[in-house]
């Protein structure tokens, strides 16, 4: 076949932003006084756009690249060229398959063509009749890195970042040869790390030196003259002066390899189970192909890869991931729905934090590190203040110890954070946030005191998770200056910030809040002042359903494992223990007050709290976990147990109901914001699309609300 | 640190020994034609400089980067990609240790030459052991005189004829002063410059100095530039006769008998002879003397004459001691005025053996080191020559000359004229 045979696929994408394949003939530099080894054809992948528009591989792009490579194969046969190189525009080799295009392939046949097109083009690259070289100058993801893997030799820039095979994360497999070549090039254990562990660890990527160390590249050069040195190296390879060593390479036919291979696959499967509960099909498929292809030819593996890709492209897990990753995390998070014009934002040059407890201290550290403005913490006595400031200083020292920051940066951050027992210290602050006890009257008292001291422009913010921001603003002289600023634990890690608009909050205050969120490197989502906002309301509705099933008599292991098919980061009971049972119960009570019996308060849970029990599960002697008899004896249970399926369905329905109500109430601008919040605030998986695509595809939305949250095609097949 | 520096520290006020300065190595980028179609359109000037610095370090692996005491980089227009203290920014961009300082320097066409002599003086004085000196001019990004704001007093007080700010006019003026230099002679000289460069390329005498530079052009992709773009080999007298004389109707100066508008960068490593020995660095030339001289701005091309006379005097040498001349060819008339003054024939084999700027190009502030690179290679090829000069004319009426000694000459190191043991007082006279 030739790339031109796929023109009918390319024609489905008339609007593709094509990454062109430009060829330049280069007389290779002569080494050591020898004559030049000959003419080298260098292909540059370039979409003609600046660095903010990554180059991608769509059908038209691949047809063009394939056609160009076929031309070079003919030139090689005629003896006109001695080698072929592929490199990219600045900062990119190529960022990978055009996911928007792939996502829109609703016909399995078309998906198969796409998979076969990639293989056809890359097979040409791998069989030019002369050596091929990839010069990895920058980002190389998925099909981008596979171009490099399919080349005979590779160089990488020390300045390159984002080198990865993220397909398992996206919902696909590295099926343009990566899954076949990588284990042979760097060993099956390393290949599992790159193809499974990294994608499933927040989509971690490799930089140039890491890729070189693994053996993905044969040589590494600095960015200042990366291409020149890569070409000089290619000349030496072609003339035989340099023979790259591949110390991690593995020949699967050699004795002993089978055991290594099997062990690596098994380790990968355990990792996938731990990370996803196998709720998404893609990671296991990667390992299936890896396991099978040890004894396969490359062509046999390619056929399996194409079939697998074609199947996965039609899964809703893949569609939901692309929606979550591209539409939400990469796009919507940068343009928050409902945020006022950023020009209205006021500068924040000093921050006040009321309270010096753990939450307040985490906030002080975050503000000082990210905004680099003075932060003053207050509390009722010097001991508390000293403890809070001491916490920040010790955290800074930890960062210094880990060499995450320099000594100068540590000095600067420590100097920025001070403490006081007097709120007078807030007099020149532009933004004061409280993190005191979750009690409305306490917070109102705090704000009354602060408002008496600060300037009329100073913004007041509350980190409440369960109280009414509207009520908190009621007695303020300037209620328009109060905004909710709800962080998630641990503050330094979780990327979500729920920005709560109370009825009187004005646009300048809100605009400042969104700019602050950006300055803090958080994603701000605008939410209405409704009890528990978004993430906690959904989490507690979920935990409430599972707890209720447990209270009704469902065995704990059945209730707590019922949601495994969702692949959530932890089970409901584990989550409750992590949040802290009293905190969970407190928020649940607030939600019960606000919304009634949809949020049932568990008497059993209260008994545990009353008895100082912090977790239902405790580790058992056998390494698993169990609920001790002493804990069980505190509680009383009903006589109507549910099956796991029933608990799952009940929870799906409850979530569909709750989210439907939240959208009706206008808590957020749309279902997309619910999904964004659950991904960034609760770590819910992208293959659920956050949550509403999952509720749509399981039918819960239709069952409960009579309609889907998202139209077909947005996060699912059209 | 050297003995000399210590003795200076301990006995301030007493005469100090001048340390010998040697030219260790020099490289340059291929030169390009300035303008949108040129090979370096879309490429930054500082990046060109960086390629040269990195190549010098690669070619001299025994030179630890932290031993470089200074990076002096010349550019005529010091704004944009040639701004921000080029020597320092180029050092940082090249990945030199942050402990290595740098500065920018300007003497128009003699920028790189001045970078060399200034840092060489620092070596002689004992302030540096090893330096990098060079120059860059991207005349596509920075057309000659762009952004300049000449003081109106030049005109109102007739300090300088306004026409003297245009180099082509000064070349026509030089023809007026020396009627014996005809257009026929300058065109013939230009043809020979092209021929000599083509021959040198054919013998591989130019290529070793070049650092290949990769460039990216829209809708063309990356390519590698490893040869000069300006040369027009095969140029004939008839070709040149047909060219316009843009500076004066029925004039004599054309694009064919002058250097073009070009982009390029050069850099060299200089060291004290002690440091070169300590670090195992090659010695390609020894600095004998240098001089700069001012002339009437209206005939700036005559500048090399008094500069050379001064440099010869400093060195205690005569013109007959000079076995090789690398003279920058801003204009053929300017070269011929120099040759006529010293009684050297137009086709003297000692002069510009590899051709000159008329063929290879003249990215203003970079050219000085190109002359030195070529003289160094000719020294190596011809051990019978003991002394050579690099010389060039400079806008606003100046000339620059540096005299070098060939280490391959059998008499190298023995005292003739200015020997290695010369003393500052004598040299400055």
pLDDT digits (tens, 9 = 90+) for B139-174: 999 999 888 898 999 889 989 888 788 999 999 999
pLDDT at B416: 60
- Residue A46 contacts B, CB cutoff 8 Å: yes
Is the confidence at residue A180, as pLDDT, over 90? yes
Instruction: Please give, rounded to a whole number of angstroms, the shortest distance from the CA of B219 to a CA of chain A.
Output: 7
Helices and strands, counts by H and E, chain A: 30, 19
Q: Which of A18, A20, A22 to probe by mutation at the B interface, max B CB count within 10 Å? A: A22
Closest chain A residue to B227 measured between Cα atoms? A27
Number of Cβ within a 10 Å radius of residue A157: 28
Is the C-alpha dihedral spanning A519, A523, A527, A532 positive or negative? negative
Mean pLDDT, residues A645-659 taken together: 98
pLDDT at A622: 77
Task: Please list, in sequence order, all residues whose beta carbon lies within 8 angstroms of the beta carbon of residue A169, skipping any fewer than 6 positions away.
Answer: A199, A200, A203, A321, A686
- Residue B221 contacts A, CB cutoff 8 Å: yes
pLDDT at A1: 79
Mean pLDDT, residues B358-379 taken together: 98
Answer whether B291's CB lies under 8 Å from B307's CB. yes
Tell me how far the alpha carbon of residue B360 is from its chain's centroid.
13
**Is A80 annotated in the active site?**
no
Number of Cβ within a 10 Å radius of residue A673: 25
Question: Of the given ranges (A211-220, A330-339, A658-667, B420-429), which has the lowest mean pLDDT?
Answer: B420-429
- Residue B224 contacts A, CB cutoff 8 Å: yes
Instruction: Please give, rounded to a whole number of angstroms, the shortest distance from the CA of A80 to a CA of chain B.
Output: 17
In this prediction the pTM is 0.93
Question: Could you report how far apart the first and last alpha carbons of chain B are, in Å?
Answer: 28
Is the confidence at residue B73, as pLDDT, over 90? yes
Q: Residue B95 is nearest to which of A42, A224, A232, comparing CB atoms?
A: A224
The tokens describing A543, both together, are 């935990």
pLDDT band for B6, please (50, 70, 90 cuts): very low
Q: Which of B39, B91, B202, B214 to probe by mutation at the A interface, max A CB count within 10 Å? A: B214
Which chain A positions have a beta carbon within 8 Å of B221's beta carbon? 22-24, 42-44, 46
| Residue pairs between chains A and B whose CB atoms are closer than 8 Å | 60
pLDDT at A399: 97
Closest chain A residue to B50 measured between Cα atoms? A224
pLDDT band for B7, please (50, 70, 90 cuts): very low
Is the confidence at residue B9, as pLDDT, over 90? no
Strand partners, A23: A43
**Is B52 annotated in the active site?**
no
- The residue from B109, B138, B142, B175 that is catalytic is B109
Tens of pLDDT along A392-406?
Answer: 999 999 999 999 999
Answer whether A521's CB lies under 8 Å from A580's CB. no
Answer whether A585's CB lies under 8 Å from A546's CB. no
Dmax over CA atoms of chain A, in Å, equals 90
What percentage of chain A has pLDDT greater than the value 90? 95
Q: Give the separation between CA A516 and CA A371, rounded to whole angstroms.
A: 8
Q: How far is CA B118 from CA B25, B107, B270, in A?
A: 17, 11, 11
Angle subtended by helix axes A644-665 and A671-682, to nearest 10: 120
Q: Give the separation between CA A497 and CA A503, rounded to whole angstroms.
A: 19
Mean pLDDT, residues A117-122 taken together: 97
Q: Give the separation between CA A322 and CA A56, rounded to whole angstroms.
A: 15
Mean pLDDT, residues A94-111 taken together: 93
Q: Give the separation between CA B48 and CA B213, rounded to whole angstroms.
A: 8
Answer whether A388's CB lies under 8 Å from A356's CB. yes
What percentage of chain A has pLDDT greater than the value 70? 100
SS3 A679: helix
Mean pLDDT, residues A620-629 taken together: 85
pLDDT band for B13, please (50, 70, 90 cuts): low
Q: Give the separation between CA A83 and CA A41, rounded to whole angstroms.
A: 6
Q: Does residue A490 have a cis peptide bond before it, meaning omega lies within 30 degrees of 0?
A: yes
What is the pairing mode between strands A523-528 and B387-394?
A: unpaired
- The residue from B138, B142, B175, B362 that is catalytic is B362
Strand partners, A83: A40
Mean pLDDT, residues A329-345 taken together: 95
Answer whether B87's CB lies under 8 Å from B105's CB. yes
Yes or no, beta carbons of B219 and A89 under 8 Å apart = no
pLDDT at A481: 97
What percentage of chain B has pLDDT greater than the value 90? 88
The tokens describing B20, both together, are 């010998």
Yes or no, beta carbons of B223 and A43 under 8 Å apart = no
- The residue from A11, A70, A80, A167 that is catalytic is A167
Is the confidence at residue B282, as pLDDT, over 80? yes
- The residue from A16, A64, A146, A451 that is catalytic is A146
Q: Give the separation between CA A512 and CA A482, rounded to whole angstroms.
A: 12
Dmax over CA atoms of chain B, in Å, equals 67
The dihedral formed by the CA atoms of A621, A623, A627 and A631, expressed in degrees to the nearest 10: 40
The tokens describing A117, both together, are 């097109």
- ipTM value: 0.92
Q: How far is CA B348 from CA A157, B323, B345, in A?
A: 49, 11, 5
For residue B108, give the H/E element and its range.
none
pLDDT band for A138, please (50, 70, 90 cuts): very high
Is the confidence at residue B2, as pLDDT, over 50? no
Tens of pLDDT along A577-590?
Answer: 999 999 999 999 99
DSSP E strands: which ranges in B209-261?
213-217, 221-225
Tens of pLDDT along B16-65?
Answer: 788 999 999 999 999 999 999 999 999 999 999 999 999 999 999 999 99
Closest chain A residue to B224 measured between Cα atoms? A26
Q: Mean pLDDT over all residues of chain B?
A: 93
pLDDT band for B425, please (50, 70, 90 cuts): very low
Which chain B positions have a beta carbon within 8 Å of A22's beta carbon? 219-221
pLDDT at B422: 42
Is the confidence at residue A33, as pLDDT, over 90? no
What is the pairing mode between strands A83-88 and A39-46?
A: parallel
Is the confidence at residue A75, as pLDDT, over 70? yes
pLDDT at A635: 94
pLDDT at B183: 98
Report the half-sphere exposure of A101 (CA within 13 A, side-chain side): 25
pLDDT at A32: 63
Tens of pLDDT along B306-355?
Answer: 999 999 999 999 999 999 999 999 999 999 999 999 999 999 999 999 99
Q: Give the separation between CA B228 and CA B28, rounded to whole angstroms.
A: 10
Yes or no, beta carbons of B219 and A231 under 8 Å apart = no
Q: Residue B221 is nearest to which of A46, A224, A225, comparing CB atoms?
A: A46
- Residue A90 contacts B, CB cutoff 8 Å: yes
Is the confidence at residue A34, as pLDDT, over 80? no
Q: Which of A460, A487, A465 is nearest to A475 (CA)?
A: A460
């Amino acid at each position: 076949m030739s790339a031109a045979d796929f023109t009918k696929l390319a024609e489905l994408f008339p609007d593709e932003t094509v990454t062109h394949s430009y060829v330049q003939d280069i007389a290779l530099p002569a080494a050591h006084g020898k004559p030049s080894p000959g003419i080298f054809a260098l292909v540059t992948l370039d979409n003609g756009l600046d660095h903010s528009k990554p180059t991608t591989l769509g059908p038209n792009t691949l047809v063009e690249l394939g056609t160009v490579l076929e031309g070079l194969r003919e030139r090689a046969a005629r003896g006109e060229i001695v080698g072929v190189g592929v490199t990219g525009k600045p900062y990119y080799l190529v960022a990978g398959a055009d996911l928007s295009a792939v996502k829109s392939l609703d016909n399995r046949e078309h998906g198969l063509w796409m998979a076969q097109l990639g293989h056809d083009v890359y097979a040409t690259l791998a069989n030019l009749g002369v050596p091929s070289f990839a010069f990895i100058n920058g980002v190389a993801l998925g099909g981008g890195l596979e171009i490099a893997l399919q080349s005979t030799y590779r160089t990488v820039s020390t300045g390159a970042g984002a080198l990865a095979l993220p397909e398992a994360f996206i919902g696909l497999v590295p099926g343009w040869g990566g899954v076949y070549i990588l284990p042979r090039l760097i060993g099956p254990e390393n290949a599992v790390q790159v193809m499974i562990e990294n994608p499933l660890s927040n989509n971690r990527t490799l930089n140039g030196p890491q890729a070189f160390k693994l053996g993905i590249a044969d040589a590494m050069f600095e960015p200042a003259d990366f291409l020149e040195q890569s070409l000089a190296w290619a000349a030496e390879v072609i003339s035989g002066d340099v023979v790259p060593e591949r110390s991690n390479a593995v020949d699967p036919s050699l004795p002993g390899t089978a055991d290594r291979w099997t062990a690596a696959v098994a380790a990968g499967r355990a990792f996938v189970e731990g990370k996803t509960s196998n709720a998404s099909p893609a990671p296991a498929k990667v390992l299936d192909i890896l396991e099978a292809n040890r004894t396969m030819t490359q062509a046999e593996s390619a056929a399996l890869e194409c079939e697998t890709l074609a199947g996965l492209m039609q899964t809703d897990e893949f569609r939901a991931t692309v929606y979550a990753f591209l539409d939400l995390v990469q796009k919507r998070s940068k343009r928050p729905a409902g945020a006022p014009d950023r020009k209205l934002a006021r500068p924040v040059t000093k921050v006040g934090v009321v309270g010096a407890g753990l939450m307040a201290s985490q906030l002080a550290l975050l503000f000082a590190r990210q905004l680099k403005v003075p932060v003053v913490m207050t509390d009722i006595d010097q001991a508390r203040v000293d403890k809070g400031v001491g916490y920040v200083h010790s955290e800074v020292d930890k960062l210094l110890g880990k060499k995450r920051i320099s000594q100068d940066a540590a000095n600067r951050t420590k100097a920025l954070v001070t403490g006081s027992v007097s709120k007078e210290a807030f007099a020149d602050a532009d933004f004061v946030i409280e993190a005191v006890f979750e009690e409305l009257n306490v917070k109102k008292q705090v704000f009354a005191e602060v408002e008496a001291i600060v300037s009329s422009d100073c913004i007041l913010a509350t980190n409440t998770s369960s109280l009414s921001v509207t009520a908190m603003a009621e007695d303020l002289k300037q209620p328009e200056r109060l905004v909710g600023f709800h962080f998630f634990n641990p503050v330094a890690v979780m990327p979500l910030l729920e920005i709560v608009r109370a009825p009187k909050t004005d646009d300048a205050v809100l605009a400042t809040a969104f700019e602050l969120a950006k300055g803090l490197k958080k994603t701000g989502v605008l939410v209405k002042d409704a009890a528990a906002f978004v993430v906690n309301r959904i989490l507690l509705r979920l935990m409430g359903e599972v707890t209720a099933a447990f209270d009704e008599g469902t065995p704990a292991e059945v209730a707590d494992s019922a949601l495994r098919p969702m692949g959530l980061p932890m089970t409901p009971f584990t989550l409750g223990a992590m949040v802290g049972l009293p905190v969970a119960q407190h928020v649940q009570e607030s939600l019960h007050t606000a919304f009634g019996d949809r949020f049932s308060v568990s008497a059993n849970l209260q008994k545990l709290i009353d008895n100082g029990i912090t977790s239902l599960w405790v580790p058992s002697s056998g390494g698993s976990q169990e609920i001790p008899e002493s804990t069980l004896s505190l509680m009383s249970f009903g006589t109507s147990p549910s099956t796991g399926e029933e608990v799952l369905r009940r929870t799906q329905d409850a979530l569909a109901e709750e989210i439907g109500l939240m959208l009706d109430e206008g808590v957020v601008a749309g279902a997309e914001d619910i999904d964004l919040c659950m991904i960034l605030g609760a770590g819910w998986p992208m293959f659920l699309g956050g949550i509403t695509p999952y509720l749509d595809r399981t039918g819960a939305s239709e069952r409960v609300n009579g309609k889907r949250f998202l139209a077909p095609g947005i996060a699912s097949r059209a | 640190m050297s003995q000399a520096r210590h003795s200076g520290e301990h006995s301030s006020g007493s005469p100090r020994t001048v340390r010998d300065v040697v030219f260790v190595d020099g490289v340059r980028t291929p030169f390009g034609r300035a303008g949108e179609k040129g090979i370096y359109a879309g490429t930054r000037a500082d990046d060109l400089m960086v390629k040269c610095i990195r190549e010098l370090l690669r070619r001299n692996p025994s030179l630890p980067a932290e031993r470089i005491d200074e990076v002096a980089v010349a550019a005529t227009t010091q704004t944009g990609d040639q701004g921000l203290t080029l020597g320092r920014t180029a050092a940082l961009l090249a990945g030199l240790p942050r402990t290595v300082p740098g500065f920018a320097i300007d003497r128009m066409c003699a920028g790189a030459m001045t970078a060399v002599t200034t840092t060489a003086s620092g070596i002689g004085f004992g302030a540096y052991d090893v330096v990098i000196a060079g120059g860059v001019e991207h005349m596509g990004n920075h057309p000659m005189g762009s952004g300049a704001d000449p003081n109106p007093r030049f005109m109102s007080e007739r300090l300088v004829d306004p026409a003297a700010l245009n180099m082509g006019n000064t070349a026509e003026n030089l023809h007026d002063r020396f009627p014996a230099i005809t257009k026929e002679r300058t065109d013939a000289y230009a043809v020979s410059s092209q021929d000599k460069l083509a021959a040198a390329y054919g013998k591989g005498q130019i290529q070793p100095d070049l650092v290949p530079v990769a460039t990216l052009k829209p809708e063309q992709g990356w390519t590698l530039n490893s040869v000069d773009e300006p040369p027009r080999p095969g140029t004939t007298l008839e070709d040149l006769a047909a060219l316009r004389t843009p500076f004066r109707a029925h004039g004599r100066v054309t694009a064919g008998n002058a250097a073009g508008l070009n982009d390029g960068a050069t850099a060299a490593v200089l060291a004290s002879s002690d440091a070169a020995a300590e670090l195992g660095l090659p010695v390609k030339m020894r600095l004998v003397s240098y001089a700069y001289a001012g002339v009437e701005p209206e005939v700036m091309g005559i500048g090399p004459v008094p500069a050379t006379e001064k440099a010869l005097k400093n060195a205690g040498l005569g013109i007959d001691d000079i076995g090789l001349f690398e003279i920058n060819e801003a204009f053929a008339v300017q070269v011929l005025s120099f040759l006529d003054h010293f009684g050297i024939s137009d086709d003297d084999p000692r002069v510009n053996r590899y051709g000159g700027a008329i063929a290879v190009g003249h990215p203003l502030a970079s050219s000085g080191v190109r002359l030195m690179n070529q003289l160094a290679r000719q020294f190596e090829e011809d051990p019978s020559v003991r002394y050579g000069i690099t010389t060039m004319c400079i806008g606003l009426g100046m000339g620059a000359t540096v005299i070098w000694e060939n280490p391959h000459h059998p008499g190298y190191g023995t005292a003739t004229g200015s020997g290695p043991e010369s003393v500052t007082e004598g040299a400055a006279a």
